[in-house]
Amino acid sequence: MNNQLRGYATVDQRITINYQNSSIVLSVITPEIIRVFQDHGEKGTSYAIEGNKTIKTNFTVLDHGDHLELTTAALIVKIYDNEKIDVYDKDGHPLIIDYQGERTPIDRGLDEAHAKLVAAEGHDIAGGSDKDKTYFEVIKSLATDEQIYGLGDKTGYLNKRGYEYDNWNTDNPAPQVESFTRLYKSIPFMLGLKNGHPYGLFFDNPYRSHFDLGKENVNYYFYSAVAGNLDYYIIGGSHLRNIVTNYTYLTGRVPLPQKWVLGYQQSRWGYSVSPEKVQEIATKLRENDLPCDVIHFDIDYMDGYRVFTWNKEKFTDPQAFVSRLRDQGFRVMPIIDPGVKQDKKYKLYKEGIKKGYFVKNPDGTVYVNKVWPGDAVFPDFGREEVQQWWADNCKYLVDTGTAGIWDDMNEPASFEGEIPDNIVFSEGKYPSTHKKLHNVYGHNMAKATYNGLKKYSHKRPYVITRAAYAGTQKYSTVWTGDNQSLWPHLQMMIPQLCNLGMSGFTFAGTDIGGFGADAAAEMLTRWIEAALFSPLYRNHASMGTRAQEPWVFGEPTLSIYRKYLKLRYRFIPFLYDLCYKETKDGLGIMRPLVLNYDQDPVVRTMNDEYMVGDELLVAPVIQEGQNTRAVYLPAGEWIDFWNGVEYAGKRSILVEAPIDKLPLFVKKNTIIPWGPEVSHISDEPNETMTFHLYGQHASYTHYQDNGLDFAYQSGEYNLYQIKASQNGATIDMLHNGYDKNYRKIFVELNDQKLTFEFDPQTQTYVQQ
């Protein structure tokens, strides 16, 4: 290969690099984000990035003879012959270096005949996207000391080095194991630490793609795709957290949720077989003093699994039933699938057929596959008018009083084989293929659902989606899909949710206790503890498995479960503050330690601890039968949440962790808001708030609004600054736009409790 560099041309912040046989365009988006693009003839716009993200940026391009050098305030990009591109930080540390050699594919000793035999027997054939099936690939050098994170909720450890993954949204009901290369989401964004220096790479291509992160060869990692343009973003920053902030600047941030979404949520496929069953669960939750805000309705509430219907034989008056649950403090979250039952008497099907809203075979006939209702057709969500139609149908559920919508089966899943690549899906006004739009099908469905809920409920939409693409976080929360009641799945929860958070999906959860198989009391107990700060805090199980409600297991499971639900609700003001901050910086509630301490080599491969914001460290017990564990405390000083004992950081300690104890530590010199003990989150604002000082002195900013709608976007919110030391405390209003100020604020110091009352005349807080 000899594709010599011939020069460049600059227009605004776009630099076209001309080669003997090709060209590449580098676009300076910000000082820390540079886009690399090569046109392969693929039309269409980004699904992940909405709007123009380019800001005015100073940069230089210099010709050094053997290479060009593009420099911003944060990045240095060197461009060589043969389309080789190397990236350094502003101090010259290498970040992303093109590999100079050729790939050395693994010799698997498998000829075509034996490959067919292996596949026929039911075994997967390893190897991902073979080179002869790849349209293009990008190969980068891998340093000896280099860790890789991100890619959403792929299986395995936090550090993805040594793994390979495919981006092809897949519903596989088998137990998720480390060898799974693909799950429900395709988020082609990776973060790296090369010799301690952070970077990000986002490959914005919805086609099927493959990441090999040093599995094939320890000296390189590569990305390949079966089609599409070469289109990736180089992302720089001083620390890993800056990489996440910059990536979410590009692809969007999780919007502020309704406050009650942070509450506990109870679910099972099987509750909605009858209103009596749902009411039984609601009653037992309250009788057992278990705080809960949401009960989920799986597919059985529908009429023959027809979406946007209720089974009126079972639920004769859905609106009245949902209202009765609401009076008991519960909100209802119904599931919706994209598959529309093929039924000429079914309103939704008739409308979609009449308007041509379903995906088609190449011959123009409507494509049919099977899902829950039997023969079903699939909305063509790539078209704006189909998204609007779907959004308008959400009104039916909103009008019955439901509080959100849970989008499932939107990979899209199908029972009679995978949808063929050539099925016609639309991209805007133009026909495209399932091959291109498969990975964004769930994204477009979630967007339609979000817009429908926003339009008709006038509240902040609560959407959960199983399938997603980069950027879906703007429209929906997610969960990791159909996990199992297995200890390895509890263990995988932490790296999955932490990598989702670093991939922009900061509001996520797992099915607590496991969806499939039978949960055991010890496992369920440790799971509700370990997931205490999981943003989506939902127990969900499959029909046909052991009931997974805590009272089923008796004592001590029930009491311990209750203890942690009550503790969760005390922390909700703190979690809500973190949600507000996330809208500004993209950093989530649940974080791997490496996100906060990326210069500490010990935490770069840590899988069994996590941070909550900057303030809390959680070290769950995730091994069966374990009652003690080692806990690594990073730099600083830490306070045991349960007994107040202080520990110096940068060391490991041994902690007693009996079945009722979650090892939990507070960073010294921190203030934590502390909510009241409640059975659910009320629509009425709290009249009081408590702030607790851990250590000698701290400052904290607290956010308050009505917790429901979009009034905060018009300034209807309050920001409180609490400063405290052992000598006293002050409270200042940084923003005073919400008229439901706390009547009283309490500040708890180590040995005293201070009381402040709001003076409506001076609009200040006065110590009593």
Catalytic residue among 83, 153, 411, 748: 411
Q: What is the pLDDT of residue 128?
A: 46
Residues 116 and 44 in one domain: no
Q: Give a yes or no: residue 268 inside a domain.
A: yes
Residue 35, pLDDT score: 99
Per the structure block, which two tokens stand in for 86?
């190397």
Query: How many angstroms separate the CA atoms of 693 and 431, rounded?
Result: 59
CATH code of 85's domain: 2.60.40.1760
Omega cis (within 30) before 31:
no
Q: Is 238 among the domain residues?
A: no
The beta strands (E) that lie in 323-373 are given as 331-336, 340-341, 369-371
Backbone angle region of 373, left / alpha / beta, with phi > 0 → left and psi within -120 to 50 → alpha: alpha
* Pair 439, 561 in one domain: yes
Are residue 430 and residue 540 in the same domain, yes or no? yes
| Structural domain includes residue 240 | no
- CA–CA separation, 723 and 271 (whole Å): 47
Q: CA 185 to CA 478: how far, in whole Å?
A: 10
- Residues 306, 277: contact at Cβ < 8 Å? no
Question: Are residues 522 and 415 part of one domain?
Answer: yes
In a domain, 676, yes or no: no
CA 448 to CA 204: how far, in whole Å? 21
Q: Is residue 252 part of a domain?
A: no
Reduced to 3 states, what is the DSSP secondary structure of residue 719?
strand
Phi-psi region of 650 (alpha: psi -120 to 50; beta: other; left: phi over 0): left
Joined together, the tokens standing for residue 530 give 């370990």
Pair type for strands 264-266 and 230-235? unpaired
pTM: 0.96
Q: Tell me, yes or no, whether 313 and 385 share the same domain.
A: yes
Same domain, 638 and 690: no
Does the active-site annotation cover 482?
yes
d(CA 567, CA 191): 33
Domain closes at, from 521, 553, 580? 580
User: Residues 378, 414: one domain?
Assistant: yes
- The rounded distance, in Å, linking the Cα atoms of 211 and 222 is 6
Same domain, 447 and 337: yes
- C-alpha 465/C-alpha 443 separation (Å) is 8
255 assigned to some structural domain:
no
Between CA 555 and CA 574 the distance in angstroms is: 30
Known catalytic residue at 660: no
Question: CB pairs under 8 A, 24+ apart, for 636-642?
Answer: 636/667, 636/668, 637/667, 637/668, 637/669, 637/695, 638/665, 638/666, 638/667, 638/668, 639/665, 639/666, 639/667, 639/668, 639/694, 639/695, 640/664, 640/665, 641/616, 641/665, 641/666
> Does residue 408 have an active-site annotation?
yes
Q: Do residues 82 and 189 both lie within one domain? A: no
**Would you say residue 499 lies in a domain?**
yes
Q: Which residue in this structure is represented by tokens 């009491």?
A: 559
Q: Based on the domain organization, do 358 and 382 belong to the same domain?
A: yes
Q: 654: domain CATH number?
A: 2.60.40.1180
Tally of CB atoms within 10 A around 239: 16
Cα–Cα distance for residue pair 98/220, rounded to 1 Å = 9
The answer on 722 and 653 residing in a single domain is no
Domain that holds residue 16: 5-92
Among 82, 75, 167, 76, residue whose Cα is nearest residue 129: 167
Q: In angstroms, what is the C-alpha Rg of the chain?
A: 26
Domain count, the chain: 5
Of 196, 225, 223, 198, which Cα lies nearest the Cα of 209? 225
Cα 302 from Cα 296, distance rounded (Å): 13
Count other Cβ atoms within 10 Å, centred on residue 753. Answer: 10
The whole-number mean pLDDT for each consecutive block of 10 residues of the chain, a chain of 768 residues, reads 92 98 98 98 94 98 97 99 98 98 84 71 55 79 98 98 97 85 97 98 98 98 97 99 99 99 98 98 99 99 98 98 98 99 98 99 98 98 99 99 98 96 97 98 99 98 99 99 97 99 99 98 99 99 98 98 99 99 98 99 98 99 98 99 98 99 99 98 95 98 98 98 97 98 96 95 96
Contact call for residues 183 and 617 (beta carbons, < 8 A): no
Specify the CATH number for the domain of residue 332: 3.20.20.80
Last residue of one domain, picked from the residues 533, 561, 580? 580
Selected catalytic residue, list 164, 212, 300, 408: 408
Task: Indicate if 558 and 595 belong to the same structural domain.
Answer: no
How far is Cα 475 from Cα 255, in angstroms, rounded to an integer?
A: 8
Q: Is residue 248 part of a domain?
A: no
- CA 197 to chain centroid: 24
Q: Which of 146, 427, 482, 549 is the catalytic position?
A: 482
517, 545 Cβ separation under 8 angstroms: yes
Q: 318-327 vs 275-287: helix axis angle to the nearest 10? A: 0
| End-of-domain residue from the set 613, 638, 667 | 667
